[in-house]
Chains A and B, each alone.
Chain A
Amino acid sequence: MHVSRVSVIVVGMALMGATLVGCSSGGGSGSGGGDAANNLDGVGPITYVQGKDNSNVVRPIIDKWNAAHPDQVVTFKEQSDQADQQHDDLVQHFQAKDANYDVVDVDVVWTAEFAAKGWLQPLKDSLAVDTSLLLKPTIATATYNNTLYAAPQTSDGGLLYYRKDLVPTPPTTWADMMKDCSIATQNGIGCYAGQYAKYEGLTVNVSEAINTAGGSIVGTDGKTPTLNTPQAKAGLQNLVDAYKNGNIPADAITYQEEQGRTAFEAGQLLFMRNWPYVYNLAKTDGSSTVKDTFGVAPLPGMTGVGASTLGGHNAAISVYSAHKKTAHDFLAFLESSDTQSFFLSQGSLAPVLSSLYDDTSLQAKFPYLSTLKASISSAVPRPVTPFYPAVTKAVQDNAYAAIKGDKTVDQALTDMQAAIQTASTGN
C-alpha cells in the first residue's frame, strides 16, 4: 500500500509541474500613469525591438541612424520570427518594466492591448508624430481611445490576383466576380479563394467581407460588437453562399496564404485574395505556371473597391524608456520618406507614406503599387480592441462553422455578437 501511495504523490507532483508551470507568470494590471510622465526629454542610447529581420532592412537603417547620431546609438534586439513568441516576449519585458525595451515593433492587432495595459507612451504633446502624410487607415490601427499610441511603420493590404488570360478586365464588384465564375467552370478550375482555415487569416477574410458590405465587427469604442446588422449579415452571407455553391472550392476551407498561392501558381484558381508578397513569387517561382498570365486588382466591393483588412506593424515607445526624446526622433526617422522607400525597395514592405505609392521609379519596380494604394486607402483595420485574442477567436469559431454550413449565418452572427460581449467582461 505504501508503494502505491508514494507513487501517487510522485506522479502527482510531476503532473503538477507539467500542467501548471506555464501559468506562473502573473497577469499585469494597468497603471503606468506615472511612468508615462517620466523621461519625456531623455536623450541617449536606446534599443529597438523587432521580430526576425528576414529581408535585412533593419540593420542598414540603424547603421545609418547611428552614423548620424553617435551619442544616441540604437541597438537592435531581434526577436524570433513567430508572432506569438514576439508577443509573449514583449509582454514579459513590459511586465518586468524593462527600461531596455525603448522602441518596440508591435503588430497592428496588439497595439490596443498594450496601450490599455499602460505600456505604450501616448504620442502627444512633445512626443507627437506627424501623421498628416500617412495613409489614413494605418493611423486608425495605432489609435486607441482617441489617442495615438504608436507610429505606423509598415502596412499591408489584400489584393485580388486574377488570370488576365481568362478574364481580360478584372471584376470590380463581388457580384461581377461571382458571375465570372462561369469562366472558371468552363476551364475546369476553381473560381475564388482567400484564407479560410481556422486561424488569424480567417478573421482577416471575414472582416473584409463584413466591412466590404458596409458592416463592422465592433463599434468605435473597440469592444461593443455590431454584428446584428443587415450589412454584417450580407457580408458573411457572401462568403457562405460562395462556399456552398462551389465558387469557393471545397478545399479552400484548409487554405492559409501559402496553400492559396500554390493553387493559384499551379493554375487551379481564377481569382485569389492574398497579400502583395505573392506578386514576386508568382512572377519568379520555377513552379509557377501563371508567370505572365496573372494581374492584380483591388479587392472587389459592393459597388466599388472592397474594404481590405490592414496588416503591418506599428512602432511604439515603452513608458519605461529612459530616453523618450531619442525614441521619438527614431520613430520620425522610421517614418521618413528615405526609410520608407528603403523598406519597400529592399524588403517589399508596404510603406505607410502616401506619396511613395505615386513614385514612378518605385512603380516600375513594383507594378502592383498603385493597386495596393487603392486597397490600403479604403482598408479597415481589424477590431482595435484590448481584448483582441478573444474577439478574433469569437469571429473565427463562428464564421468557420457558418462557412462550412454547420450553422446558419444568423446563428453564427448572434453567437459572435454574444461571444465578443463576454470577451470584455473577463469571463
Chain B
Amino acid sequence: MSTATEVVGAPAGVPRAPRTGAKKKRRGETRVAIYLVAPTLILLAVVIGYPVVSAIIMSFQKDAGLDPATGLFVAGGFAGISNYAHWILQQCLDTSGNTISCPPGNLGSQFWNATGVTFFFAVVTVALETAFGVWMAIIMNRTFRGRGLVRAAILVPWAIPTAVTAKLWFFIFATSGIANALLQTQILWTSDEWASRFAIIIADTWKTTPFMALLILAGLQIIPEDVYEAAKMDGATTFQQFWRITLPLIRPALMVAVLFRILDALRIYDLPAILTGGGGGTGNATTTLSILVVDQIRQGFNSASALSTITFIIIFIVAFIFVRVLGTNVVRTQQAQQKGAAK
C-alpha cells in the first residue's frame, strides 16, 4: 500500500530535491514504475473495467420486447433510468404502458425485501462469527497437547466447498432430518420464515467462523507474552487482560477480518440458493440481492445489469464507510504504538 502511495505522488511535506541530477533520477524511477504497473493496470482494465462499463451501459437499455406482428423479440432501445426505477421505486409497466407498482411475483417487488434480508444476514452472521472466532482463536493460541489437531479440526468447515456445506445442512435441516430428530421438533427448516433464515445463519456461521478464527489468531500471535506477565504482576484479572490487552492489540486484525466477512456476506449467494432456494416464509424470506440478480439474468440481462450495478453501489458504500472508519483506526493505532515505543 505504501509503495502505491509513493508512486501516486510525493506527499506535500517532502522537501524538494536540491539538484537536477536527483530530479532526473527520480523521473527515471517513475518511468520504471509505470512500466512495472502497466501490465497489471491493463489486465484490470480488461477483466474488470470492460465488464463494469459494459454492464453500466446495458443497464440503460430496455430488455428485448416482443414485436406483436411477428411474435419475435426486438431490441428494447434506450431505457433512461427506468431499469433503476424498476428496482428502487418498484415501478412496473402494465400492458397499456402505465407505470404501476410492481405486483408480488414480479422480481421488482422484491428489491427492498432482498436488501433487508442481505443486510440482516451480514450483520447477524458477522457478529456471531466474530464472537465465536475470537473464542476459537484464543483456544488455538494456547499451548497444550494436541494443539495441531485442534487447529486442523477447526479448519475443516472452512475447507469444505460452500455448495457441499449447503447440501450437507440441507439434509440436516430436512423435515425428517437430524436437526428435528435431535431437537424432537417438527420445524420446517427450509420453509418457515424465521427458521429458514436461522438455518442459513447457522450454516454460514459453522462454515465461516474458522476463517475469522484464523485471521484473529494471526493477530494474537504477535502479542508479546511479557505484556501479559506485566499485567499479571500488576494484579489484572483474566477478564481485564482480555479487555485491556488482547482486544485492543488484535483490533487491527479483527477489523480487517470483519471487513472481509461483511463484504463476503453482502454478496452471499450459494448457501441460501442451495439450502433454501431463496424460499421460506411467503416464498422469499431468504432471497438475497445476489439471488435476485441471478433470477433476473434469466428474465432479462439489461434489467439485471441495473440491479447488479445497484448492488455494487450498496456494497461499495458499506465498504467505503468501513474503510474510512477502519483506516483512521489503523493509522491511529500505529501512531499510538509508535508514540508508545518512542517513550
Which residues of A are interface residues toward B (Cβ below 8 A)? Answer: 1-4, 6-8, 11-13, 15-32, 84, 87, 115-118, 144-145, 197-199, 223, 250-251, 253-254, 259, 386-387, 389-390, 393-398, 400-401, 404, 406-407, 415-416, 418-427
Chain A residues in 8 Å Cβ range of B330: 3
User: How far does the alpha carbon of A426 sit from the alpha carbon of B83 in the complex, in Å?
Assistant: 10
Q: Which residue among B1, B65, B72, B303 has the maximum number of chain A CB atoms within 10 Å of its CB?
A: B72
The verdict on A419 contacting B105 (CB below 8 Å), with A8-B323, A23-B301 known, is yes
Chain B residues in 8 Å Cβ range of A19: 267, 290, 293, 308, 311-312, 315
A416 in contact with B105 (CB, 8 Å)? yes
Chain B residues in 8 Å Cβ range of A22: 293-294, 297, 308
Chain A residues in 8 Å Cβ range of B95: 421, 424-425
Chain B residues in 8 Å Cβ range of A2: 5, 8, 11
Chain A residues in 8 Å Cβ range of B304: 23
Kindly state whether residue B205 has any CB partner on chain A within 8 Å.
no
Chain B residues in 8 Å Cβ range of A423: 106, 299
A422 in contact with B301 (CB, 8 Å)? no
B83 in contact with A422 (CB, 8 Å)? no
Choose one: A31, A407, A426; the contact of B93 (CB below 8 Å): A426
User: How far does the alpha carbon of A145 sit from the alpha carbon of B327 in the complex, in Å?
Assistant: 60
Choose one: A3, A117, A393, A407; the contact of B295 (CB below 8 Å): A393
The verdict on A253 contacting B55 (CB below 8 Å), with A20-B308, A427-B86 known, is no
B170 CB, min distance to chain A CBs, angstroms: 10
How many A-B contacts if CB must be within 8 Å? 237
**Size of interface on B: residues with Cβ below 8 Å to A:** 89
Pick from B96-104, B120-128, B210-218, B223-231 the stretch touching chain A. Answer: B96-104
Choose one: B83, B86, B323; the contact of A4 (CB below 8 Å): B323
User: How far does the alpha carbon of A404 sit from the alpha carbon of B102 in the complex, in Å?
Assistant: 22
Kindly state whether residue B241 has any CB partner on chain A within 8 Å.
no
Choose one: B175, B190, B283, B302; the contact of A27 (CB below 8 Å): B302
B72 in contact with A118 (CB, 8 Å)? yes
B76 in contact with A426 (CB, 8 Å)? yes
Q: Mark B248-274, 1 if CB is under 8 A from A, else 0.
A: 000000000000000100010000000
B264 CB, min distance to chain A CBs, angstroms: 10
A427 in contact with B73 (CB, 8 Å)? no
Instruction: Specify the chain A residue showing the minimal Cβ separation from B5.
Output: A2
Minimum-distance CB pairs A-B, first 8? A4-B327, A419-B105, A418-B103, A30-B73, A394-B105, A29-B75, A27-B301, A145-B71
User: How far does the alpha carbon of A11 sit from the alpha carbon of B312 in the complex, in Å?
Assistant: 11
Kindly state whether residue B174 has any CB partner on chain A within 8 Å.
yes
Kindly state whether residue B284 has any CB partner on chain A within 8 Å.
yes
B72 in contact with A24 (CB, 8 Å)? no
Instruction: Report B37-65 residues with CB < 8 Å from chain A CB.
Output: 44, 47-48, 50-52, 54-55, 58, 61-65
User: How far does the alpha carbon of A1 sit from the alpha carbon of B103 in the complex, in Å?
Assistant: 46
B323 in contact with A404 (CB, 8 Å)? no
The verdict on A27 contacting B71 (CB below 8 Å), with A20-B55, A404-B282 known, is no
A269 CB, min distance to chain B CBs, angstroms: 13
